[in-house]
């Protein structure tokens, strides 16, 4: 178990330099809440109903203005519009948000700017306008190309709309991610293979393939569907890794596959314990200062978020300063998802802790065949990637004895 206190004494670990900074913008509305989704997303209710676009854009800009004091003078390496379904918003709204972002915080040259989009919101002109507004990477929530599985997942689009969405995307963007899921209700290995083969054949730059899990507070958790067992799911994962590799996609993170040089820069920053400012209802932030690392969460309910923004009240619902033990665990929890691991020096740069703080855990993980490490790199083995939870458990902070 991590116990950096014995190494550092009572001194709070200092950071010599701040990590890269990303911006996450949460747009919480979608056409319909999917039965497996545990994100802070809210269905637009009633025929002809619309999200309060103009009011929410104004609130996001206010949110960013309030947050400037924490990130003043820092450059953004990436921007990510997540949700919900951000592509429900007009290109004019996205343009207004990005104009405000560029005014308040400098973007790095060639910064990656991603928008999540779902089939069913795709109109050719709208996506051309998104590109003109400054979006240069699109992430499409396909989930499956199988009509039956899309219906089981409660998706609002069918297989034809999925293909149409990719067709429109390819005409406007040269950096596209497709989100797929596997181990779906009633899915066979052959059906999972058909999905991943189809995704690879479309020539997109990035594919994310997630194992469907039953998350608390979802409809699927209350009424569990019949899912493939662990052995079948593992066979699907192995097949996905082999299929993507044969199409020149590199499996650089547990669920992420990219063509050379097309890894998600925004997600890489998360996984390497970089900083991110989250604005919008329920958005999370992790901000480093020289002497502390702070986590924040914005007010979660959209109506309350809008009300507080209009009244110029604080939008931060919770704030926590990470302890040294939290820093070590959170770094490992993210960075050990990377297939190639990470440079040893990055641990100290991002946490302020010497590697000696986790030496005992590293040695135990290596003895158990879960990772390999030396002075230059720490990397999970194939076994460690398969049993990632077991590997991460070794780095859990010690819980103090109750007296």
> Does residue 227 lie in a domain region?
yes
Mean pLDDT of 153-167: 90
Beta strands 284-288 and 293-298 are antiparallel
Q: Which of 215-224, 271-280, 316-325, 331-340 has the lowest mean pLDDT?
A: 215-224
Q: Which pLDDT belongs to residue 48?
A: 56
Whole domain around residue 228: which residue ranges? Answer: 21-269
Same domain, 333 and 265: no
Same domain, 332 and 186: no
Residue in 200, 220, 124, 120 with CA at minimum distance from that of residue 160? 120
> Does residue 173 lie in a domain region?
yes
- Domain final position from 203, 236, 269: 269
- Domain final position from 269, 285, 314: 269
Cβ atoms 17, 73 nearer than 8 A = no
Mean pLDDT of 193-209: 98
Average pLDDT score, the chain: 92
Same domain, 365 and 254: no
pLDDT tens for 371-384 read 999 889 999 999 99
297 vs 3, higher pLDDT: 297
Mean pLDDT of 19-31: 95
Q: Which pLDDT belongs to residue 400?
A: 53
CATH no. for residue 265?
A: 3.20.20.70
Instruction: Read off the pLDDT band of 164 (50, 70, 90).
Output: very high
Backbone angle region of 84, left / alpha / beta, with phi > 0 → left and psi within -120 to 50 → alpha: left
Q: Cβ neighbours of residue 338 under 8 Å, at least 6 residues apart? A: 252, 253, 271, 272, 380
User: DSSP secondary structure string, 135-189?
Assistant: --EEEEEEE-S-HHHHHHTT-S--HHHHHHHHHHHHHH-S-EEEEEEES-TT--H
Q: Which pLDDT belongs to residue 12?
A: 75
> Does residue 276 lie in a domain region?
no
CATH no. for residue 363?
A: 1.10.10.920
pLDDT tens for 87-111 read 999 999 999 999 999 999 999 999 9
Q: Which pLDDT belongs to residue 156?
A: 84
The residues with which 113 forms a beta bridge, in sequence order, are: 79
Same domain, 253 and 354: no
Same domain, 260 and 339: no
Same domain, 365 and 232: no
pLDDT tens for 340-370 read 999 999 999 999 999 999 999 999 999 999 9
> Does residue 298 lie in a domain region?
no
Highest mean pLDDT among 48-52, 81-85, 112-116 belongs to 112-116
Sign, CA torsion 240/373/370/338: negative
- Distance (Å, whole) CA 300 – CA 206: 30
> Does residue 70 lie in a domain region?
yes
Q: Which pLDDT belongs to residue 218?
A: 77
Count up the domains in the chain and report the number: 2
Same domain, 163 and 231: yes
Q: Cβ neighbours of residue 293 under 8 Å, at least 6 residues apart? A: 15, 286, 287, 321, 322, 327, 351
Same domain, 226 and 98: yes
pTM of the model: 0.93
3-state secondary structure of 78: strand
pLDDT at 9 over 80: no
pLDDT at 45 over 90: no
Same domain, 58 and 136: yes
pLDDT at 305 over 80: yes
Q: Which pLDDT belongs to residue 10?
A: 45
382 vs 218, higher pLDDT: 382
Q: Which pLDDT belongs to residue 8?
A: 47
Residue in 344, 324, 341, 348 with CA at minimum distance from that of residue 397? 324
- Distance (Å, whole) CA 346 – CA 54: 41
- Distance (Å, whole) CA 203 – CA 259: 9
> Does residue 312 lie in a domain region?
no
pLDDT at 5 over 60: no
> Does residue 7 lie in a domain region?
no
pLDDT at 7 over 70: no
Cβ atoms 24, 277 nearer than 8 A = yes
- Domain final position from 269, 300, 318: 269
pLDDT at 290 over 60: yes
The CA R_g of the chain, rounded to the nearest whole Å, is: 21
Mean pLDDT of 270-294: 97
Q: List phi, psi (to 5°) of 96.
A: -65, -40
> Does residue 179 lie in a domain region?
yes
């Amino acid at each position: 178990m991590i116990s950096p206190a014995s190494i550092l004494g009572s001194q709070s670990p200092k950071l010599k330099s701040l990590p890269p900074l990303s911006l996450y913008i949460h747009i919480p509305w979608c056409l319909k809440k999917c039965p497996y989704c545990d994100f802070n997303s809210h269905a637009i209710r009633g025929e002809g109903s619309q999200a309060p676009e103009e009011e929410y854009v104004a609130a996001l800009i206010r949110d960013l203005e309030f947050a400037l004091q924490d990130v003043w003078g820092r450059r953004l390496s990436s921007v990510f519009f997540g949700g919900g379904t951000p592509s429900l918003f007009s290109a004019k709204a996205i343009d207004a948000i990005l104009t405000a972002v560029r005014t308040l915080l400098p973007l790095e040259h060639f910064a990656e700017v991603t928008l999540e989009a779902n089939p069913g919101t795709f109109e050719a002109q709208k996506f051309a306008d998104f590109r003109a507004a400054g979006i240069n990477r699109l992430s499409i929530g396909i989930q499956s190309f199988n009509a039956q599985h899309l219906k089981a997942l409660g998706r609002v689009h069918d297989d034809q709309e999925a293909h149409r969405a990719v067709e429109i995307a390819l005409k406007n963007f040269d950096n596209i991610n497709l989100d797929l899921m596997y181990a779906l209700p009633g899915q066979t290995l052959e059906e999972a293979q058909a999905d991943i083969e189809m995704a690879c054949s479309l020539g997109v730059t990035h594919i994310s393939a997630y194992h469907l899990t039953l998350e608390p507070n979802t409809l699927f958790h209350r009424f569990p569907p019949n899912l493939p067992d662990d052995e079948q799911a593992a066979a699907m994962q192995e097949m996905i890794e082999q299929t993507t590799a044969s199409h020149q996609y590199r499996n650089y993170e547990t669920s992420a596959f990219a063509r050379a040089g097309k890894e998600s820069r925004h997600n890489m920053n998360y996984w390497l314990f970089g900083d991110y400012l989250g604005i919008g209802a329920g958005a999370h932030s992790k901000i480093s200062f020289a002497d502390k690392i702070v986590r924040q969460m914005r007010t979660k309910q959209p109506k309350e978020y809008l009300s507080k923004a209009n009244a110029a009240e604080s939008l931060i619902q919770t704030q926590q300063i990470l302890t040294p033990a939290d820093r070590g665990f959170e770094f490992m929890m993210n960075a050990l998802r990377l297939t190639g691991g990470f440079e040893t020096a990055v641990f100290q740069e991002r946490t302020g802790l010497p590697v000696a703080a986790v030496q005992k855990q590293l040695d135990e993980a290596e003895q158990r065949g879960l990772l390999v490490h030396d002075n230059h790199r720490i990397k999970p083995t194939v076994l460690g990637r398969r049993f990632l939870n077991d590997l991460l458990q070794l780095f859990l902070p010690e819980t103090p004895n109750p007296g």
